[in-house]
Amino acid sequence: MKYLKVILLIAILFFFDCKANATRVKVRLFSNNNIEALYVSFDLGVYALFANDSLLLEPELGEGLSVELLPTALGVCVSVNNYNYGTFRQVTLQATDTACILCLNPRGVKQRTYEGNLIVSAFDSKNLRIINDVDFETYLAGVVQSEIYGKQSDIFRIQATISRTWALRNMGKHRADGFNFCDYVHCQAYQNRCVRPDIMLGTIQSAGETIVDTNGNLIDTPFHSNSGGQTANSEDVWRTALPYLRSVQDTFSLRMRQSDWTKVIPRDKWLNYFAKTHKLNTQDSEVRNTLLTFAQPERKAKILGVPLTRVRTDFNLKSTFFTVTTDSKSGDVLLLGHGYGHGVGLSQEGTIRMVSLGISYDSIIRHYYTGASIHRDENISQRYVDNFVTEITKIIDEDNANPGRVKSKKDDWLGKLFRVRDRMDREEEYDPTKQELESDDFKIEW
Ligand SMILES: [Zn+2]
């Protein structure tokens, strides 16, 4: 009977959760590492432990408890505070509330924290498969935090819109593997839950926003660190020419962290590379001269027929946007380069500069994605977004008014937001006075 009540409670919580946040995603964590052991502790909220599909432990996994998960040939071996519960095909840590944060400590890998549920199975006796089942927008905030730096919330709003568009286009990328995305750059980096209110603010402000082409279809939204002053045409980097991925002048990317680079390459190595790998006759003075004085006042795609993308890969260059000179003393080849990344689509540092100049976020998106526009999902409740923005802004203002204030875990800003979300999910009338009272109650419970 007690179990039934618990399952019912979880079902009700999930019903409310899903109603306001239409989509959840499954993201494989630590996908770039072999995980030989995982230790889980609980930073906020209470979790239930499921083995295969049955409840193993009632919702009582919270602060002070630690779960150890080890891969075996038969599945995952589970212990809670050193008490062994056995080995199961799949183990799930299920959040019983919207305010739940897990702390993951894999052996030999840096600790991370995540919201939502955790589904763990074993690839084999040496490697765990760890999946975070999480609210879509919560995932996006984590991606934004991993993918871009900056201070103004519009920077995060733009990155969130790009990442949401990418994610919605690529939901099935890992379908065959049983999840939506990995947490690595193969999909989008998702290295932790979002811990910054300003990043959460930008993400929430962009709720329901995607980038579409002139036919209203979601566009491909590649981005890179810095264009070096001019972005690249999609067909010069990949195969397909896309109407919204055109090369544009981008002075906003100049004089930023990744604007310029240089690389010294021994002259013989440079010439031999083109002679051996690309069969160019470097004995010919005209060929040699071109290879040693190649210049790009504007971006080019090839050097003597050799794709610059190939040269970039083979010499591990930051970009294809470089000019060749010779060092007068050593005689070495000197590459003077601009930008960092493939150069197609949005330049992140150009975006940071444009936001600092006060250029609007939709103008920035249109600058980098030719002819594209922002589509807003009308099913997203504006009241819901506005309430969130109000609450986060309050938290940011409070933090700014008290710089250096040491915050306890119980004081976590996300915890406050969770409670706002929880109440809004129940469609109660938004009332700031009531929220203060509830916050006090919550503190007493702790
Ligand atoms: Zn992936």
Residue 33 lies in a domain: yes
Question: 132 C-alpha vs ligand 1 centroid, how far in Å?
Answer: 14
Give 237 or 444, the one with higher predicted confidence: 237
Residue 372 lies in a domain: yes
Residue 266 lies in a domain: yes
Question: 180 C-alpha vs ligand 1 centroid, how far in Å?
Answer: 8
End residue of a domain, out of 319, 338, 357: 338
Question: 405 C-alpha vs ligand 1 centroid, how far in Å?
Answer: 38
**Based on the domain organization, do 7 and 83 belong to the same domain?**
yes
Are 233 and 349 in contact by the 8 Å Cβ rule? The answer is no
Question: 76 C-alpha vs ligand 1 centroid, how far in Å?
Answer: 23
| Alpha carbon distance 430, 153 (integer Å) | 24
Question: 299 C-alpha vs ligand 1 centroid, how far in Å?
Answer: 30
- Return the CATH number at 102: 2.60.200
The pLDDT > 90 percentage for the chain reads: 73
Question: 190 C-alpha vs ligand 1 centroid, how far in Å?
Answer: 11
Segment among 125-134, 146-155, 273-282, 375-384 with least mean pLDDT? 375-384
**Based on the domain organization, do 122 and 38 belong to the same domain?**
yes
pLDDT at 98: 75
Segment among 197-201, 282-286, 316-320, 364-368 with least mean pLDDT? 197-201
pLDDT at 274: 98
Cα atoms in the Cβ-side hemisphere of radius 13 Å centred on 414: 21
Residue 349: is its pLDDT beyond 60?
A: yes
**Based on the domain organization, do 130 and 274 belong to the same domain?**
no
Question: 167 C-alpha vs ligand 1 centroid, how far in Å?
Answer: 11
pLDDT (mean) for 357-375: 97
Question: 189 C-alpha vs ligand 1 centroid, how far in Å?
Answer: 9
**Based on the domain organization, do 10 and 149 belong to the same domain?**
no
Q: What is the pLDDT of residues 58-81, one digit of tens each?
A: 778 998 999 999 999 999 999 999
Query: Which amino acid is located at 329 in the chain?
Result: K
Q: Tokens 């052996």 identify what position?
A: 107
**Based on the domain organization, do 18 and 130 belong to the same domain?**
yes
Question: 182 C-alpha vs ligand 1 centroid, how far in Å?
Answer: 4
Residue 165 lies in a domain: yes
Residue 104 pLDDT grade (very low, low, confident, very high; cuts 50, 70, 90)? very high
Contacts of 415 (CB under 8 A, 6+ apart): 44, 99
Q: Hey, what are 111's tokens?
A: 């600790």
Give 39 or 424, the one with higher predicted confidence: 39
Segment among 178-187, 390-399, 413-422 with least mean pLDDT? 413-422
Question: 326 C-alpha vs ligand 1 centroid, how far in Å?
Answer: 41
Question: 210 C-alpha vs ligand 1 centroid, how far in Å?
Answer: 21
Residue 70 lies in a domain: yes
**Is 189 in a helix, a strand, or coil?**
coil
**Based on the domain organization, do 56 and 143 belong to the same domain?**
no
**Based on the domain organization, do 369 and 302 belong to the same domain?**
no
Q: What is the pLDDT of residues 239-254, one digit of tens each?
A: 999 999 999 999 999 9
pLDDT (mean) for 220-241: 96
pLDDT at 422: 63
End residue of a domain, out of 113, 134, 155: 134
Q: Hey, what are 415's tokens?
A: 């915890």
pLDDT at 439: 39
**Based on the domain organization, do 22 and 68 belong to the same domain?**
yes
pLDDT at 20: 33
pLDDT (mean) for 216-222: 96
**Based on the domain organization, do 130 and 152 belong to the same domain?**
no
Question: 70 C-alpha vs ligand 1 centroid, how far in Å?
Answer: 24
pLDDT at 388: 84
pLDDT at 218: 97
Question: 170 C-alpha vs ligand 1 centroid, how far in Å?
Answer: 10
Q: Tokens 């009531």 identify what position?
A: 434
Question: 146 C-alpha vs ligand 1 centroid, how far in Å?
Answer: 15
Question: 187 C-alpha vs ligand 1 centroid, how far in Å?
Answer: 4
Q: Which domain holds residue 333?
A: 260-338
Listed residue (76, 4, 85) closest to 38, CA to CA: 76
Q: What is the pLDDT of residues 409-444, one digit of tens each?
A: 555 677 667 766 666 665 544 454 554 444 333 333
Question: 404 C-alpha vs ligand 1 centroid, how far in Å?
Answer: 38
Question: 348 C-alpha vs ligand 1 centroid, how far in Å?
Answer: 21
**Based on the domain organization, do 29 and 79 belong to the same domain?**
yes
pLDDT (mean) for 229-246: 97
End residue of a domain, out of 104, 134, 164: 134
Question: 258 C-alpha vs ligand 1 centroid, how far in Å?
Answer: 26
Residue 434 lies in a domain: no
pLDDT at 53: 84
How many folded domains does the chain comprise? Answer: 3
Question: 218 C-alpha vs ligand 1 centroid, how far in Å?
Answer: 19
Question: 209 C-alpha vs ligand 1 centroid, how far in Å?
Answer: 23
- Average model confidence (pLDDT) across the chain: 88
Q: What is the pLDDT of residues 252-305, one digit of tens each?
A: 999 999 999 999 999 999 999 999 999 999 999 999 999 999 999 999 999 999
**Based on the domain organization, do 361 and 317 belong to the same domain?**
no
Question: 333 C-alpha vs ligand 1 centroid, how far in Å?
Answer: 37
Question: 289 C-alpha vs ligand 1 centroid, how far in Å?
Answer: 43
Residue 370 lies in a domain: yes
**Based on the domain organization, do 270 and 124 belong to the same domain?**
no
Residue 123 lies in a domain: yes
Residue 44 pLDDT grade (very low, low, confident, very high; cuts 50, 70, 90)? confident
pLDDT (mean) for 89-111: 92
DSSP 13-52: HHHHHHHHS--EEEEEESTTS--S-EEEEEEES-EEEEET
Long-range contacts of 275-282, Cβ-Cβ distance < 8 Å, separation of 24 or more: 277/314, 278/304, 278/305, 278/306, 280/304, 280/306
pLDDT at 290: 97
Question: 374 C-alpha vs ligand 1 centroid, how far in Å?
Answer: 25
pLDDT at 403: 80
pLDDT at 21: 36
Give 7 or 161, the one with higher predicted confidence: 161
